[in-house]
């Protein structure tokens, strides 16, 4: 654990700042929470690998002074799986968007959960494809206006927490960019957890989502997360079941992690046999 | 100002994009956007050092330095 | 020590070659007729401390191989048919990021599901151009299992030397054939290890800077150099840079680093070529029938037929093929597709009109009789 004062410059490639995200984009807040969590854990930059996919959120890898890969759309998790298996000593973190993780990378997502490989997936969920111009994602939800849903999205969204739970992730949490300190602490727990950890962070896209859905500017969008989320199991849910729950929904340390499983159930077994 | 604390707001004007998140959520209305749409600590003496602005700033442009003592 | 002689199928020859070359990581997805490679490596890699993983699809296995290579492991995958199509995204990423890896593509009938259990060479052009955007690539073949072994070793060597994906364009027939293979002693065939930077940790490392030896030495994720990898157009540090000058330089590098070395990368075999009046250009399984046809024409008719077997198909060895075909009265290109390498041969020879084409696309191997039919048409004589 780190006792020193948090200095963002230790963890970023400052030459690329200010970053490219729009004013008020929640992804920057997630980046801050991630870096503070890494600082809190006292991790060395050399020991961290950040692997992202494609989209606004996935540009995060270029800004961070770790072993970083900006991969293909949807393919961050399988690339990260290769990195982790090849070097299990690395703390592998995959921050990526809702489209990247649940649409084009949805299959990889559920299988990473099932395998329980020690990777931390941070889904920066702004419910929209920002970079390509505001098309709807599997996380947008019915009725949301998007550039490909001018009359409102007709289909339902995923509940990412339920998806991750169902697929077998051994750590599943949800928080928001409004709750930045909570996000920092949740990411910290997720990185510490040995196994596949999923942290959904409700983020915001004032440019593409906010404008089309009259959600206001960045501060108003953050307010929405304050007003419409509650801690897991809150009594307020009885009156308003539509409130979104935050918290750590799964934290199971009993499940065997994949790299350990491969070592113990395959390599060690074969070696013993001779 | 918080008792016995000295708080300094280090705001990187090159990184600040003027989104207004820090201003909106400051519990003591310490921060404002100036004429260049950059965050400034207009009333630093009112700051309680809660760091909510630093934690939420998407541009990593705010650092709150707190010195205990006096 | 006694020679290590084995009587094994083509898939095992590929596996033995991969292990000889120091392959430490395999990610794959089951698909006929390449699954035996995955099966064999799932058994052999953990014995050596290596890792095998069966991924959720072909796309994931390609990405996983790239990840393992970035972390410093010699890595490969194997696939066939539609699986090769799905891998193209990752192959393009490996080209762009200059990440060494080996892809065995055991060719079967296509397009689409085609015929999973029968032979074809219909992916030859896909190996070259399958990934979008300008790039170059290395693709190799073999017609017997000793060469399957050797080309697999060489594929790893070329991948490391040129920091590129290398495709092993095998086919169903060589893969399911059983033959004698002599596994060489360690050191008998050169094995090229990852060429790593000697820049001390803490000093600026440029992952894409060409050194005095023409190499771009690599570092591993976790080794302390903390570099960035992206599929975006990037500069020598690996960071996005879309300035016209940079992009121009990058694309030229990606193509030139392989195409300008075509003669060095070229691997080929010549049979009866010294005095050949007629040259059969072929690759993979087809070579076996070409040899039989050439021998029959020589022995029974005294007509001088030679065989030029291309073991490296891409980059196409323009100069070598032109030179070898220069004195031929006619050139027959024989391949199990509707005409892929024949286009290249016609492009490079002095007289394209002397190039004939002999093919089959009925899931059957080209037989000596097929090639003899072409020779009969050209020479007016048959055996």
Selecting from A17, A24, A178 the residue whose C-beta is nearest the C-beta of B15 gives A17
Provide the chain A residues 71-100 that lie in CB contact (below 8 A) with chain C.
Answer: 71-72, 74-75, 77-87, 89-90
Angle at A6 between CA B9 and CA B19, to 5 degrees: 50
| Residue A177 domain flag | yes
Selecting from C51, C72, C228 the residue whose C-beta is nearest the C-beta of A68 gives C228
B and C touching (3 or more beta-carbon pairs closer than 8 Å) = no
Residue intervals in chain C for CATH 3.40.50.970: 4-183
Interface contact B55-A181, CB threshold 8 A:
yes
With tokens 């649409």, the residue in question is A103
The residue ranking higher by pLDDT, A272 or A90, is A90
Residue C70 contacts A where some CB pair is shorter than 8 Å: yes
| Residue A2 domain flag | no
What is the spatial distance between Cα C10 and Cα C149, in angstroms, rounded to a whole number?
Answer: 8
Mean pLDDT calculated for residue range C78-105: 98
Grade residue A273 by pLDDT with cuts at 50, 70 and 90. Answer: confident
The ipTM of this complex is 0.97
Indicate the SS3 state at residue C34.
coil
Neighbors of chain A by Cβ distance (3+ pairs < 8 Å): B, C
Grade residue B2 by pLDDT with cuts at 50, 70 and 90. Answer: low
The mean pLDDT value of chain C amounts to 97
| Residue A1 domain flag | no
- Mutation pick from B11, B17, B24, B58 vs chain A, by most beta carbons of A within 10 Å, is B58
Chain A / chain C CB contacts < 8 angstroms: 145
User: Structural domain of residue A88, as residue ranges?
Assistant: 8-273
**Letter string b/e over residues C305-341, b meaning 16 or more CB atoms within 10 A of that residue's CB:** bbbbbbbbbbbbbbebbeebbeebebbbbbbbbeebb
Is the model's pLDDT at C318 over the cut of 70? yes
Grade residue C2 by pLDDT with cuts at 50, 70 and 90. Answer: confident
Q: What topology is assigned to C4-183 in CATH?
A: Rossmann fold (3.40.50)
Selecting from A47, A62, A74 the residue whose C-beta is nearest the C-beta of C228 gives A62
- Mutation pick from B25, B56, B61 vs chain A, by most beta carbons of A within 10 Å, is B56
Chain A residues in contact with B60 (beta carbon < 8 A): 8, 12, 17, 19, 28, 31-32, 35
Rounded to a whole number of angstroms, the distance from the CA of A246 to the nearest CA of chain C is 30
Residue B59 contacts A where some CB pair is shorter than 8 Å: yes
**What is the pLDDT at residue A237?**
97
- How many domains does one find in chain A? 1
Is the model's pLDDT at A1 over the cut of 80? no
| Residue A55 domain flag | yes
Residue intervals in chain C for CATH 3.40.50.920: 268-379
pLDDT tens digits, residue range B11-46?
999 999 999 999 999 999 999 999 999 999 999 999
Is the model's pLDDT at B3 over the cut of 80? no
Pick the CATH number of C268-379 from 3.40.50.920, 3.40.50.2300, 3.10.110.10, 3.40.50.150: 3.40.50.920
Grade residue C266 by pLDDT with cuts at 50, 70 and 90. Answer: very high
Indicate the SS3 state at residue C279.
strand
What is the spatial distance between Cα C93 and Cα C229, in angstroms, rounded to a whole number?
Answer: 10
CA neighbor of A93 nearest in space, from A116, A74, A67, A114: A67
What is the spatial distance between Cα C342 and Cα C358, in angstroms, rounded to a whole number?
Answer: 9
**What is the pLDDT at residue A4?**
81
Rounded to a whole number of angstroms, the distance from the CA of A153 to the nearest CA of chain B is 28
Calculated CA dihedral for residues A253, A85, C61, A174, nearest 10 degrees: 40
Selecting from A47, A70, A90 the residue whose C-beta is nearest the C-beta of C229 gives A70
**What is the pLDDT at residue A274?**
63
| Residue A187 domain flag | yes
Q: What topology is assigned to B5-68 in CATH?
A: Alpha-Beta Plaits (3.30.70)
Residue B38 contacts A where some CB pair is shorter than 8 Å: no
CATH number at residue A158: 3.40.50.970
pLDDT tens digits, residue range A133-162?
999 999 999 999 999 999 999 999 999 999
What is the CB-side half-sphere exposure of residue C350 using CA atoms within 13 A?
A: 10
Mean pLDDT calculated for residue range C201-225: 97
The full set of domain ranges for chain B reads 5-68
Indicate the SS3 state at residue A25.
coil
**What is the pLDDT at residue B68?**
80
| Residue A44 domain flag | yes
Mean pLDDT calculated for residue range C208-212: 97
């Amino acid at each position: 654990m780190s006792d020193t004062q948090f200095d963002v410059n230790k963890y970023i490639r400052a030459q690329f700042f200010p970053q490219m995200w729009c004013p008020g984009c929640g992804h920057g807040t997630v980046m801050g929470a991630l870096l503070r969590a890494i600082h809190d854990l006292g991790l060395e930059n050399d020991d961290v690998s950040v692997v992202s996919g494609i989209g606004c959120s996935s540009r995060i890898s270029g800004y961070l002074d770790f072993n970083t890969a900006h991969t293909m759309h949807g393919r961050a998790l399988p690339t990260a799986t290769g990195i982790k298996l090849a070097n299990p000593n690395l703390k592998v973190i995959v921050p990526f968007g809702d489209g990247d993780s649940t649409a084009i990378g949805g299959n990889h997502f559920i299988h990473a959960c099932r395998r329980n490989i020690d990777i931390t997936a941070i889904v920066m969920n702004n419910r929209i494809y920002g970079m390509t111009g505001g098309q709807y994602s599997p996380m947008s939800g019915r009725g949301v206006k998007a550039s490909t849903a001018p009359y409102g999205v007709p289909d339902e969204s995923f509940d990412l927490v339920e998806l991750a739970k169902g697929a077998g992730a051994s750590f599943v949490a949800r928080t928001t960019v409004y709750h930045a300190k909570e996000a920092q602490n949740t990411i910290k727990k997720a990185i510490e957890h040995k196994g596949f950890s999923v942290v959904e962070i409700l983020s915001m896209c004032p440019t593409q989502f906010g404008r089309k859905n009259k959600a206001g500017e960045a501060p108003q969008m953050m307010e929405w997360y304050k007003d419409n989320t509650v801690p897991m199991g809150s009594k307020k849910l009885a009156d308003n079941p539509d409130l979104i729950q935050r918290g750590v929904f799964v934290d199971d340390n009993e499940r065997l992690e994949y790299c350990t499983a491969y070592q113990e159930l395959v390599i060690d077994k074969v070696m013993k046999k001779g | 100002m918080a008792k016995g604390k000295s708080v300094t707001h280090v705001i990187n004007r090159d990184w600040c994009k003027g989104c207004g998140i820090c201003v909106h959520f400051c519990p003591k209305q310490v921060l404002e956007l100036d004429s260049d749409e950059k965050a400034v600590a207009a009333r630093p003496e009112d700051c309680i050092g809660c760091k909510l602005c630093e934690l939420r700033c998407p541009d990593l442009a705010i650092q709150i330095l707190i010195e205990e003592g006096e | 020590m006694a020679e290590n002689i084995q009587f094994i199928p083509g898939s095992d020859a590929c596996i033995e070659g991969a292990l000889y070359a120091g392959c430490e990581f395999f990610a794959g997805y089951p698909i006929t007729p390449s699954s035996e490679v995955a099966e064999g490596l799932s058994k052999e890699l953990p014995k050596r401390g290596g890792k095998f993983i069966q991924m959720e699809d072909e796309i994931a296995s390609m990405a996983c191989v790239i990840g393992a290579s970035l972390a410093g492991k010699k890595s490969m995958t194997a696939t066939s048919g539609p699986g090769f199509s799905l891998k193209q995204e990752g192959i393009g990423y490996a080209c762009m990021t200059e990440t060494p890896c080996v892809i065995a593509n055991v060719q079967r009938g296509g397009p689409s599901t085609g015929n999973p259990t029968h032979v074809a060479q219909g992916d030859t052009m896909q190996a070259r151009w399958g990934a979008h955007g300008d790039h170059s690539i290395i693709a190799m073949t073999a017609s017997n299992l000793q060469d399957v072994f050797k080309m697999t070793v060489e594929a790893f060597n070329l991948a490391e030397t040129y920091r590129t994906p290398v495709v092993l364009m095998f086919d169903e027939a060589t893969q399911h054939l059983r033959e004698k293979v002599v596994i060489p002693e360690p050191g008998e065939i050169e094995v090229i290890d990852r060429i790593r930077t000697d820049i001390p940790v803490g000093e600026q490392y440029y992952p894409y800077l060409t050194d005095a030896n023409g190499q771009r030495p690599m570092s591993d994720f976790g080794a302390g150099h903390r570099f960035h990898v992206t599929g975006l157009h990037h500069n020598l540090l690996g960071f996005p840079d879309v300035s016209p000058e940079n992009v121009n330089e990058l694309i030229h590098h990606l193509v030139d680093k392989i195409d300008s070395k075509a003669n060095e990368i070229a691997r080929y075999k010549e049979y009866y070529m010294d005095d050949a009046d007629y040259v059969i250009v072929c690759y993979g399984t087809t070579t076996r029938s070409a040899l039989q046809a050439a021998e029959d024409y020589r022995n029974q008719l005294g007509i001088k037929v030679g065989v030029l077997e291309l073991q490296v198909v891409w980059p196409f060895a323009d100069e070598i093929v032109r030179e070898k075909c220069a004195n031929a009265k006619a050139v027959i290109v024989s391949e199990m597709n509707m005409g892929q390498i024949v286009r290249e041969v016609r492009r490079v020879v002095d007289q394209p009109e002397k190039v004939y084409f002999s093919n089959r696309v009925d899931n059957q191997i080209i037989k000596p009789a097929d090639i003899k039919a072409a020779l009969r048409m050209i020479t007016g004589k048959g055996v």
